Amino acid sequence: MRAAALPGGGYAVWLSGDVIDVVPGVPVPEGAGNGPEARLWEFGDQTRLQLGAQWPVEEKWLRSHARNLFAAGPLTGSATRLQVAVTGTPTLSLIAAGPAGRDPVTVGVVDTSGYPPFTAVVNLLLDADGAAAARAAADGERGRLLLTITGTLAADLPLVADVLAQTALHLHPPARGTQVSATADLADWFHPPAGGPTEAPPRSAITPPPERNTPC
């Protein structure tokens, strides 16, 4: 068994054969590269946030680097089966952080699609805390409005602590199963870098195992 951290903050495990188990890393905008990936609308005293998000597996990078990454002879890369080691339907939460000394507040929660790349659409009328945080993020202030996707790990996924520490993932052991989350700062979505972020893989390319998720 070998485990590895991925460039986008994800986690991958090779056990045997031409198969890799993968946990997605940092959420990314859906349809990236066409200007701001989050939009804030002001209508009188109302503030609405709109965005599309994905929690994708780094398929292209994994296929190119699988054999060297795991030093495993059976891995072909091009034909390697990537199994998404997340069960159920992950959720997306928007978290507003106020001024110093105030606790973060969850201002909205939506379900993802439940299958890779776990897409979610946010069209949310914000309360006062959320609107203030969203305006700050739109002005480029990092740490004010965060987008977190949380899912449940497959029960049989081996967890290697020192490798997980190199990822963008956070583990939360609930009563049943182990939950995992990854967070993006929406200030980066309002002001994407030149050229846009790394493009998310096409959903048809990833095939989660039947016992974990509905096939794409």
Model confidence at 200: pLDDT above 90 = no
Q: Does position 197 have pLDDT exceeding 80, yes or no?
A: no
Question: Tokens 């606790």 label which residue?
Answer: 103
Question: Which has more confidence, 81 or 215?
Answer: 81
- What size, in residues, is the chain? 216
Question: pLDDT tens-digit profile of 42-71?
Answer: 888 899 999 999 999 999 999 999 988 998
The mean pLDDT value for 73-87 works out to: 91
Measured between alpha carbons, how far is 116 from 152 in angstroms, rounded to an integer? 14
Mean pLDDT for the stretch of residues 23-34? 84
Phi and psi angles of residue 107, each rounded to the nearest 5 degrees, phi first = -105, -5
Residue 166 has pLDDT above 80, yes or no: yes
